[in-house]
Amino acid sequence: MNGHIPSSRFIFSSTDQGQYRAPTLQQAGNLQGVFKSGKIVVGTSLSYPSRHVAKTVAVTGAAWCWIDAEHVAWSQDMLIECIQIIIHESGGKMIPVVRVPSKTAFDYMAWCLDAGAGGIIIPHLDTVEEMKEVIAACRFPPIGHRSFPPFTFASCPQICADIDLPPLQIPGVTDTTPEGETVFSLANKHVAIIPQIESRVGIKNLEEIMKLKEISAFMIGAGDLRMEMGLSPGMTGDEPEFVAALEKAKRVSEQTNIPLLGVAIGPEMIKQRIDQGFKILCCSMDLHALAFGMMQTLGEARAVAEEHLQERHGAAK
């Protein structure tokens, strides 16, 4: 069974994905539009800094791919290349989302967005002031002060003409936008900005943070949140403080219509996350899929071989 499903009432499907591709593969896909669909959006992850793994992940049918640059030491070149691999190998249907190394990693935000990432996850986001700085870095004027990228195919023809250079946009190939839009205005409408809330301070400030209209979704970092609360490591739990934090996140999500993003591995956690109000789910991870998938296959192989040999030896007696 593959990840490609037909049109669905509740789940964002492969049929839906084609509607949110960017006009060209050099531009960011419309992740804001995906999140506003109201459906459950299932994604996967890429943590291995590998072109080969990126190519495999890109054809699995997920709507979005979480590339983790917080806990994995990606080189900038490899990170940018894998963003583009995800886009091109999926035909623009899978939208890469990068969790940058920190909430002040403004250089990574610029590199990833210039490479075509459709979203940025900002870890350990705690305050309104921090969120405003991120928004300013990830939005082109007049909303923010993201700098126009002179070394991509999105550069402005007039600027090139002013300095007597040929335009870096390729007419009819990389400059395609709907009437009345530019690659810059379209990026502001497509790119998703996603704070990751994973502390008591972040939970306390949640309502104020979510009043900022440029936020497209928000993530609850359950593992770090639990550790800060002095609870056992994990992604789930029934401790009162942890449950209250998730209930608050659900309430704020419903009040603001800003969807919740979280990890949901396996059938039971998927059901639990949906009941907790999560709309955007990361349901597979390359590391876990490779390790546990191979362990399961090897275990089944040993069991089959053992059973078969016992039957043979029993028959021989």
Q: Are the beta carbons of 106 and 137 closer than 8 angstroms?
A: yes
Instruction: Summarize the confidence of residues 251-279 as an average pLDDT.
Output: 96
* Gap between the Cα atoms of 126 and 230, Å rounded: 18
The predicted pLDDT at position 3 comes to 59
* Gap between the Cα atoms of 36 and 121, Å rounded: 17
Q: Are the beta carbons of 181 and 203 closer than 8 angstroms?
A: no
For residues 290, 292, 294, 297, the Cα torsion angle rounded to the nearest 10 degrees is -140
Out of 108-122, 151-165, 252-266, least confident range: 151-165
| Summary mean pLDDT of the chain | 90
Q: Are the beta carbons of 98 and 108 closer than 8 angstroms?
A: yes
pLDDT digits (tens, 9 = 90+) for 75-86: 999 999 999 999
* Gap between the Cα atoms of 253 and 269, Å rounded: 19
Residue 58, SS3 per DSSP: helix
Q: Are the beta carbons of 94 and 64 closer than 8 angstroms?
A: yes
Q: Are the beta carbons of 280 and 41 closer than 8 angstroms?
A: yes
CATH top-level class of 14-284: alpha beta
Task: For residue 29, give the amino acid letter.
Answer: G
* Gap between the Cα atoms of 79 and 112, Å rounded: 8
Task: For residue 210, give the amino acid letter.
Answer: M
* Gap between the Cα atoms of 125 and 102, Å rounded: 9
* Gap between the Cα atoms of 147 and 63, Å rounded: 28
Q: Where are the domains of the chain?
A: 14-284, 287-317
Q: What is the largest CA-CA distance in the chain?
A: 91
* Gap between the Cα atoms of 280 and 96, Å rounded: 14
* 155 CA to centre of own chain: 25
3-state secondary structure 74-136: CCHHHHHHHHHHHHHHCCCCCEEEEECCCCCCHHHHHHHHHHCCCEEEECCCCCHHHHHHHHH
User: What is the DSSP secondary structure assignment for residue 231, as one 8-state letter?
Assistant: P
Question: Does the structure show a pLDDT above 70 at 110?
Answer: yes
The predicted pLDDT at position 181 comes to 85
Which of 69, 23, 7 shows the shortest CA–CA distance to 183? 23
For the packed helices 106-115 and 128-138, what is the interaxial angle rounded to 10 degrees? 40
pLDDT digits (tens, 9 = 90+) for 170-223: 666 667 888 888 888 999 999 999 999 999 999 999 999 999 999 999 999 999
